[in-house]
Amino acid sequence: MTSPIRVAVSGAAGQIAYSMLFRIASGAVFGKDRQVQLQLLEIPPAMGALEGVVMELNDCAFPLLSDVVVTDNPEVAFDGTSWAWLVGSKPRGPGMERSDLIQANGPIFVGQGNALNKGADDLRVMVVGNPCNTNCLIAMSNSDVPNDRFSAMMRLDQNRSQSMLASKAGVPVSQVTNMAIWGNHSNNQYPDFENALIAGKPAADVINDQAWLQGDFISSIQNRGAAVIKARGASSAASAAHAALEHVISLESTTPANDWFSAAICSDGQYGVDPGLIFGYPVRSDGKGGHSVVDGLTMSDFAKQKFDAVHDELRQERDVVKDLLK
Ligand code: NAX
């Protein structure tokens, strides 16, 4: 057996982490022959709850779990890690605007960005804590880790979109492929039904209901998080955790030539996006640590309008945190 892979999870006593940690420890992400060392980061008031999570991890007697480190110090949490899931952040409080949330969470990602320099040479970072695109931008900007090692999560939006298209078309979800979520994990994201395929055919031809695709489909995906909160009385956790794991699995594996996955990565200007923004793109991975944006996709005028709106939103978020960027 090779040495354990060291992975950090922040917000480790929270509800998303609770659905992630046991699966990571079971080998569901890095394989059944790779030992894992978990390095769990929390804030001091949550350390008691985190101890309880560690008791449960121990009680599972996972053969692949070599050690669990628990800390409130990001430098300890990220020390020697090859992957860092940045899940922890402050929740949106009553009456808070999105810009308030951005400002409240920004400083967390300045400190954590700095501490990421303690990671292993192959460290890769994915951000779940909202607003995840802009938090990722802040962490990237405050770290010496190369920009192409950072990403933020669009995968839950991709999975939601595939599920909803499959349900509308009356087909198994596995038949819905090539689902791109452009831009921001926010209610301005653009789930791209024009380039999605159902059983290899354009989704719009199979569903044949442009009004639904342009209307209810997009708004349901954009507002799905709020709908889950309304129904469950708590925000998405198991589905978010599943997406956070799939995001990493996709970046670790070779993407099939006829498909892609959605992730927010640092733009090099692809599709006219401001270089440096953490923008949701269709992505392919080479399975060796490299990934690239799928090029050459076309968009209707309708799609371009949505794309431009979410691009503007991310520019505005960048302006709100400009004092935190290096
Ligand atoms: P919880 O409130 O259950 O857990 C968050 C945890 O983060 C808490 O235990 C808290 O103590 C910890 N925390 C706060 N500040 C921290 C810091 N500076 N360092 C380390 N830990 C810190 O929230 P949960 O439901 O787990 O959600 C976590 C984040 O995911 C939230 O920001 C949420 O908005 C975001 N989400 C992102 C999604 C996405 O698609 N990108 C979807 C799901 C989710 O809404």
Residue 326 belongs to some domain of the structure? no
Residue 325 belongs to some domain of the structure? no
Return the structure tokens found at 175: 């038949």
Distance from C-alpha of 245 to C-alpha of 251, rounded to nearest angstrom = 10
Give burial (CB, 10 Å; 0-12/13-18/19+) of 264: buried
User: Would you say 14 and 45 are in contact if contact means Cβ atoms under 8 Å apart?
Assistant: no
Protein residue closest via CA to atom 23 of ligand 1:
14
Tell whether 204 and 311 lie within a shared domain. yes
pLDDT at 71: 98
pLDDT at 92: 77
CA–centroid distance, 326 to ligand 1, in Å, is: 24
Residue 138 belongs to some domain of the structure? yes
Which residue segment(s) compose the domain that 237 sits in?
155-320
Catalytic (active site) residue 311: no
- DSSP character at residue 213: I
Tell whether 49 and 164 lie within a shared domain. no
Q: Which residues contact 100 (CB under 8 A, 6 or more apart)?
A: none
Out of 150, 172, 200, a domain closes at 150
pLDDT at 300: 98
Tell whether 145 and 267 lie within a shared domain. no
pLDDT at 91: 79
**Could you give the C-alpha distances from 316 to 131, 302, 321, in angstroms and in order?**
13, 22, 9
Out of 150, 177, 210, a domain closes at 150
pLDDT at 1: 57
Report the number of distinct structural domains present in the chain: 2
Tell whether 85 and 205 lie within a shared domain. no
Chain-centroid distance of CA 77 in Å reads 19
Mean pLDDT by 10-residue block, N- to C-terminus, for the chain (326 residues)?
Answer: 92 98 98 97 98 98 98 98 96 80 93 98 98 97 98 98 98 98 97 98 98 98 94 94 98 97 98 98 97 98 98 97 96
Out of 105, 120, 150, a domain closes at 150
Tell whether 186 and 44 lie within a shared domain. no
pLDDT at 244: 98
- The CATH number linked to 179 is 3.90.110.10
Q: How many CB atoms sit inside 10 A of residue 43's CB?
A: 14
User: Ligand 1 pocket check: which of 10, 53, 89 to mutate, most ligand atoms within 8 Å of Cβ?
Assistant: 89
Tell whether 134 and 180 lie within a shared domain. no
Protein residue closest via CA to atom 29 of ligand 1:
129
- The CATH number linked to 119 is 3.40.50.720
